Chains A and B, each alone.
Chain A
Amino acid sequence: MRYLPLTDTDREDMLARIGVPDIDALFSDVPAGKLLKTPLDLPRAKGELEVERIMGRMAARNVAASAAPFFVGAGAYKHHVPATVDHLIQRSEFLTSYTPYQPEIAQGTLQYLFEFQTQIAALTGMEVANASMYDGSTATGEAVLMAHRVTKRRKAVLSGGLHPHYTDVVKTLSGMASDEVVALAPDVAANEDILAQIDDETSCVVVQSPDVFGNLRDLKPIADKAHAHGALLIAVFTEVVSLGAVTSPGAMDADIVVGEGQSIGNALNFGGPYVGLFAAKSKYLRQMPGRLCGATVDSDGHRGFVLTLSTREQHIRRDKATSNICTNSGLCVLAFTIHMTLLGEAGLSRLAELNHANAVKLADMLAGVKGVKLLNDSFFNEFTLKLSKPAAEVVEALAEKGVLGGVPASRLLPGAGLDDLLIVANTEINTDEDRAAFVAALAEVL
């Protein structure tokens, strides 16, 4: 087996040095009869070529996003990632290293985490950011738990514009902790009266902008009302590129900001691995979950970086920890931070502008199709259409015509009476030809 360096001769020598007759002598603690006598019912070892054949066949059965005009978003977005990014994240020293618990030989990882934290704080307009969470949805769940710790209250109010999967993750996590979750009804037009839900029992209000239907929301009045009642505002985003063009949550006085960073540097990967972003006001620092990287000096006085404030974490505090989280999204963070470094402020602003311009163009084209109504007043690179037919059927018919035309709201919210809504995303990857193909196919289908 190509990955196993020991030879049979080595194995014999090593058993002799240990002083046991055979390998099973080392498994003597396995209870009688529980050591497997027969091989597992699975195929035997395969060479590279054969593995490539098998997996290649599986992969070929899927329609890749780059193989069709592609307008699917709703929490994960197809963007162009510079070639430099994937090259760098495959460098051995990044790819095959561990959590930087030995900082003297992990300064590479630690320095990029410090740079990443600085980038996230700047992007979100917040004071501190952690070194990432699993993804946007789990970051949101953790943010709600953190708000419960900060306020000593146990009721979270979730906007009807929050991505339904995020709502479900929060409900699951908070439900297990016996906390109360008030999830408002799906809010297609961003006109819910969330202010009326905030009272003195409320620990936090969770609002997404751009929301799952693409609407941009003003968080300032919600922050003000929350603060007046001693509650926190948790701002959520699923499209981090939007921060290059819209007001940051920090500027609207959010207390905690969480989101999905997949758009920058990371592939779609059928939903994972992604990169959860988490930032907060510094007064809540010690209640934050996840890892934090900090600057310090070495014994010669040189600047260096370490993981810090780990007394919040499970490996020190055990059942008193701020979270049970151990792993983060290290390599996805690296992809994010390299791509963001390449972009810089100028590149991110331009990228956001192009996304928005393309989406505006497409929205106007689609709104001209018979049986289509655009529902958004404002949007960034994603919007919602009301169709004259059920969106799930429309999407299947579009796929038959070779166009991947968005996400039916009913796929995220079955039984909510939103069967005629289609959520459409448009990024820098889409060309005028893609848009024309989409419009033509939709006109035929409707």
Chain B
Amino acid sequence: MSTAPTKTKPVEERRNVVILFAGDSGDGIQLTGSQFTDSSALFGNDVSTFPNFPAEIRAPQGTLAGVSGFQLHFGSVEVWTPGDQCDVLVVMNAAALKANLIKLKKGGAIIANTDGFDKKNLRLAGYIDEADPLTDGSLSEYALHSVDVTKMTRAALEGLTLGMKEKDRCKNMFVLGFINWMYSRGMENSERFLHQKFAKKPDLLEANLRALKAGYHFGDTSETFTTRFEVKPAPMPKGSYRSITGNQGTALGLIAAAQKAKLDLFYGSYPITPASDILHELSRHKNFGVVTFQAEDEIAAISSAIGASYGGAIGITASSGPGIALKTEAMGLAFMLEIPLVIVNVQRGGPSTGLPTKTEQADLWQAVFGRNGEAPIPVIAASTPIDCFDMAFEAVQIAIEHMTPVILLTDGYIANGAEPWRFPQSRDLPEIVPPTVVASGDVAGARRTMADVHDASGKFLPYIRDERGVRPWALPGQPGLQHRIGGIEKEHKTGNISYEPKNHELMVRLRAEKVARIADRFKSIRLDSGPPEGDAIIVGWGSTYGAIRTAALELQAEGHSVAHVHIRHMFPFNRDLGPLLKKYKQVLVPEMNSGQLRQMLRAEFLVDAQGLNKIQGLPFTSAEIKEAVLNLMKR
């Protein structure tokens, strides 16, 4: 992408850069961040983002509680995390500076909107005696650039008939334009975005375009900025790319799988942060036979999905911790019915309502153990935004092919984070074959014929099992397959109600076996990096992937014998996971909880796994992980 010809200022090359945009939640920070991300990705950089929202929708303006942040890491090298610390901190007001200064590298650049540092803002941000950090010298170890964004935006929009408030809303575009300049980006992508967004509002389009250009030219003409930077495209595998967030990935994975199974998709859900975007995304794709149902609560959401699966669609529901708690009883029902169902848990900080806008991985036990009776439900976990697509696809695949509810764990961090995605072609995705009963004739895959599912006397057996322990899916509307099922214990094969003691034990075992056998389909577990045996292995799951991978690669580069394995199948585990772990002297399990996976590994494989646990609603930095590994190896 070309850059508009400008006055020449020297351009320095950087391998990777971390920018943190921060401002009041009304400042449009998320938009600036995601737009610059898009432009960087389009340019060919590898990117990773971390949007960080305030807990309140509209916390009082100018306060620390109201600070919204968007961290972006882009590089000409592979990028796996949004970055431990940032090179550039863009702050729209004093609170944004106060809240985020600790994340800035020593010597890093601060670009501050001076208008956000008036007495009121300083007081609200809690600067003692309203001391202005922009002028009192306290920021001397950083490269400080004070810019009156508000004034310059207003000046650029002079003559337009918009109100002052609307004009001031264009400040974020001024910033975007400026950052585009600073990192030698073209403006095409930003301009195209604005044309789309404001297609029906020409006056707002004009204003935003002007602000954007003003920001760009400011960089060019201002005396303060003597250098521009360039981050070359990353050496990414050849192919077509797009950018995707985790929640989008999940939604697309679900649709793709439903298409591959030739089934309609029914999505029942009740809004909750950070899962709602899955509902938003799915509801845009009704032409794929997607029915979305905003239920009255989470119990209705999952129950409706069960009803839809019973009817022959793939029923899906998603929520976050508190909503998942409500769905528990119905999960037990789906488990007993042995029908396909996917339950997505976009985890957030708990317990109870906890930290709704922050990330955590503390619902693992809830997923694996959290039901009455013995109700083992397969649990899989996504590790990156892209992986959300793959794991959502796999969740549907397992649910349908094994006639079971499946829980997919993601979390707020990857759900909202974005990365470039070399999207697959539909023909590369596997077909999914539902074990539905078909009239007769040649049947492919796992489908059953009528003859397979009736006893000698012609009685239909809804709970007859195949060699994988999977029962047939008999859809209403098919003659000769009438049957009654429910949550009450059922007799082996016939499915009739049965309280017979031995039968109950048999059924509990058969259901558990069926789920255990799902591990047969897993490919053997692969190290993410590192030697096949050695001093230490870092065992991760979920969204800690990037931080762990970065740490592991660095440790390996420094000559340490450290490997990294990332678990996607949380229950059942890959069969070869236990033997693998035993090949290392030390096992470290970093988790954003108090050690849930660690305990499961210890119980399952009798390994002396050690935990690195961070329970702050914040993702790990790779430095934290590196340090823990080094300490562990000293033992």
- Chain B binds chain A: no
Which residues of A pack against B, CB within 8 Å?
none
